[in-house]
Amino acid sequence: MQLIDNISATVEKQIGSRPWLDHLVRAGGRFQRQRGDFFAAGITYFTVLSLFPLLMVAFSVAGFILAGHPDLLTELQAKVIENIPGSFGDQINDLIDQALDSRGTVGILGLLVGLYTGLGWIANLRAALTEQWESQSPEKPWWQAKLSDLGALIGLGLAFVVSLGLSALAASGLAKRVLELVGLEHLPGAGVALRLLSIALGVLASWAVFAWMIARLPREPVSLRSAARAAMLAAVAFEIFKLIGAIYLRTVLSSPAGATFGSIIGLMVFSYMTYRILLFATAWAATSRDNEAAATVAPPNPVIIQPRVVEHGPSAGAGAAYFGAGVLAALALVLFGKRK
């Protein structure tokens, strides 16, 4: 026991002397207490469920594009026959023709279902992020909550647009072309510099999305400083996870089960780990000194004194009051009795 106590005291001393380690421990404790893994799994389910209407919209958009360019449609059907010969290829081409004929209906239905599932997804995501704050926010009327969720969904879409733009800039090789124009592509270390720049742009793209989600999605006030720091932590962890995930997916897809269910398994694993990173980063922001200080100085709720109803006889406080009143009455009788 003495050895365990010494080890515990040493660990606590090391944690107390390092603010970043103390913050990490507090964030991990918050994440575990507020069931971060459980909420990450739940949001993953809603994410997979929301993909089907998005695929319907994508098929509808593809149908309109192919209908406007018959040459692309002919080339696509020829590729299907070339790669899938026989009756199965003919059936796929028949499905393509049916999709073209019903592209309008499929698109409208996909948009309506996508809006419904999207609002459900964003509502659950906001609830999971708010849970990391260990607070109970007052519930809004359902129509106000849905309007707020719709605004959050639009804002998140814009954040994704910014992130995709930065990612496309990193993948387009623009920096390499600039070096080629100025004749510096053969400069020693140019390849390493371009690789580092690509990674930096990827981290910046992830940071933009995570910062917006941590700062705006929880139903609690979040300081921008803590959200920016937590988002940088999430962005770095996310980039590392993408590198490891790519290796993992290559291994899984090479197996027979992975060849059949690899895409859906990969999507679920990717979503689950991403949400775990996001929820832990939110717990990091919630346990930062900025937000804890703001919660400490928050004005207390007004105390309303309600009359107490005694159901099972007088309490100890009432008995003491009765005893005091009896003593005062006896003193009054003695004094008035002496005067007479």
Task: Output the pTM of the full model.
Answer: 0.70
With respect to residue 172, please indicate whether it lies within any of the assigned structural domains.
yes
Query: Could you tell me if residue 186 is inside a domain?
Result: yes
Query: pLDDT tens digits for 310-326?
Result: 333 443 343 444 334 44
In a domain? residue 66: yes
More confident residue, 47 or 78: 47
Structural domain count, the chain: 1
- Among 39-43, 117-121, 186-190, which is the least confidently predicted range? 186-190
Does 233 fall in a domain? yes
Whole-angstrom Cα distance, residue 90 to residue 96? Answer: 10
In this structure, is residue 299 part of a structural domain?
Answer: no
**Structural domain of residue 96, as residue ranges?**
15-130+147-293
Please check whether residue 10 lies inside any domain of the structure.
no
What would you measure as the largest C-alpha separation in the chain, in angstroms?
125
Is residue 236, in this structure, part of any structural domain at all? yes
pLDDT score, position 237: 94
Which pLDDT does position 295 carry in this prediction? Answer: 58
In a domain, 304, yes or no: no
What pLDDT is stored for residue 207 in this prediction?
92
Q: Model confidence over 179-202: pLDDT tens digits?
A: 666 666 666 666 677 777 778 888
